[in-house]
Amino acid sequence: MVCQFHYRAILLLAIFAVFGCASKEESASTGERRPETPDASAGSATGDELAQLLDVNDSGKATSQKTSLRFKDVAASSNVSFHRFSDAVHDRYFLPEVMGGGVAWFDYDHDGQLDLYATNGISLWDPVPGKVNPLNQLFRNRGRGQFATVTVPSRSGDSYFGQGCTVGDFNADGFPDLYVTNYGRNTLFVSNGDGTFTDGTDASGLGDPSWGTSAVWFDANSDGLLDLYVANYLNLTRETHEICTYGGVRGYCGPGRWDGVADLLCLNQGDGDFKITAACDAQDAALAKGLAVVVCDFNADAQPDVYVANDMVPNVLLTRTAEAASDAEPLFRNVAEHAGCAVSSDGRNEASMGVACSDFDNDGKVDIFLTHYFQHKNTLYRNLDSLLFEDNSRRSRTAATSFDTLGFGTVAADFDHDGDDDLFIANGHVLGPQHSPNAMNPQLLENDGRGVFDDASFQIGGYFVQPCVGRGAAKGDFDNDGRIDIVVSHVDRPMAIVRNETQVSNHFIGLQLLPIDRVYPVGGQVTVMAGGQRHIIPIIGGGSYLSSSDPRIVVGLGEYEGPVDVSVVWPGRDTETLHNMSSGRYWQIRERKTEQPALVLPVRDGSEN
Partner 1 sequence: MTDHGAQSTQNAAVESTPSENSTPSFLSRRRTFFLVICVLAVGWSGYSYWSIESGLKRGQQAAAKGHWSRARNHLSRYLQWHPDDSAAHLLTAEALVRDNTRSGQDSVNQAIEHLMQIKEDSPLAATARLQQARLSLLILQRPAAAERLLREALDLNPDSLDANILMWKLMDVTGRHIVSRQYFWRAYEVSPASGRPPLLRDWFLAEFFPETANTSFHNATGARAVGELPASISLLVRLRESEPEAHFVHAALAAYYLERGQPKSSLELLKESPDLTKAMKDPFFVSVLLESLVDLGENEKATICFEQFPEPHSDYLYWRSKAMFHHYVTEDATAAVHAYEEALTKWPAKFDWGLMTKLSESLRKVGRSDDAESVQERVKQLTTRILTEEKTSQLRDKLRGLNDPAVAGELCDIYTEFGLMKEANAWGDHQQKLLTSSSTFLPSSTSAK
Q: Which of residues 227-246 bind partner 1 (CB under 8 A)?
A: 246
Residue 285 Cβ vs partner 1, minimum distance, rounded to whole Å: 15
Q: Is 347 in the site for partner 1 (CB under 8 A)?
A: yes
Q: Is 24 in the site for partner 1 (CB under 8 A)?
A: yes
* DSSP conformation letters of 352-407: --EEEEE-TTSSSS-EEEEE--TTS--EEEEE-SSS-EEE-HHHHTTTTTTTT--E
Residue 40 Cβ vs partner 1, minimum distance, rounded to whole Å: 4
C-beta closer to partner 1: residue 429 or 493: 429
Total number of residues binding partner 1 (CB under 8 A)?
79
Closest CA to 319 of 306, 300, 328: 306
Q: How many residues does the chain have?
A: 609
Q: Are strands 305-310 and 290-296 parallel, antiparallel or unpaired?
A: antiparallel
Closest CA to 546 of 190, 205, 104, 136: 104
Site for partner 1 in 368-397 (CB under 8 A): 374-377, 384, 388, 390-391, 394-397
Laid out side by side, the sheet with 316-320 consists of 332-334, 316-320, 305-310, 290-296, 541-542
**381 beta partners:** 368, 391
Residue 292 Cβ vs partner 1, minimum distance, rounded to whole Å: 20
Residue 214 Cβ vs partner 1, minimum distance, rounded to whole Å: 25
Residue 476 identity: G
Select from 71-79, 149-157, 191-199, 340-348 the region that touches partner 1 (CB under 8 A).
Answer: 340-348
Residue among 400, 439, 497, 530 that touches partner 1 (CB under 8 A): 400
Q: Is 140 in the site for partner 1 (CB under 8 A)?
A: no
Query: What are the φ and ψ backbone dihedral angles of 181, each rounded to 5 degrees?
Result: -90, 145
Select from 48-56, 106-114, 582-590, 596-604 the region that touches partner 1 (CB under 8 A).
Answer: 48-56
Residue 159 Cβ vs partner 1, minimum distance, rounded to whole Å: 40
Q: Is 6 in the site for partner 1 (CB under 8 A)?
A: yes
Q: Is 596 in the site for partner 1 (CB under 8 A)?
A: no
Q: What is the 3-state secondary structure (H, E, C) of 355-367?
A: EEEECCCCCCCCE
Q: Is 449 in the site for partner 1 (CB under 8 A)?
A: no
Q: Is 85 in the site for partner 1 (CB under 8 A)?
A: no
Q: Is 44 in the site for partner 1 (CB under 8 A)?
A: yes
Q: Is 7 in the site for partner 1 (CB under 8 A)?
A: yes
C-beta closer to partner 1: residue 30 or 237: 30
Residue 432 identity: G
Residue among 28, 128, 132, 322 that touches partner 1 (CB under 8 A): 28
Residue among 129, 130, 248, 462 that touches partner 1 (CB under 8 A): 248
Residue 488 Cβ vs partner 1, minimum distance, rounded to whole Å: 24
Element (H, E) at 600: strand 598-600
| Helix (H/G/I), strand (E/B), else coil: 421 | coil
Q: Is 91 in the site for partner 1 (CB under 8 A)?
A: no
Query: What are the φ and ψ backbone dihedral angles of 66, each rounded to 5 degrees?
Result: -80, 140
| Helix (H/G/I), strand (E/B), else coil: 153 | helix
Residue 391 Cβ vs partner 1, minimum distance, rounded to whole Å: 7
C-beta closer to partner 1: residue 49 or 595: 49
C-beta closer to partner 1: residue 27 or 326: 27
Q: Could you tell me the sign of the dihedral formed by the alpha carbons of 554, 556, 561, 565, in that order?
A: negative
Residue among 221, 303, 403, 459 that touches partner 1 (CB under 8 A): 403
Rounded to whole angstroms, what are the CA distances from 90 to 93, 367, 432, 450, 513? Answer: 8, 41, 10, 47, 48
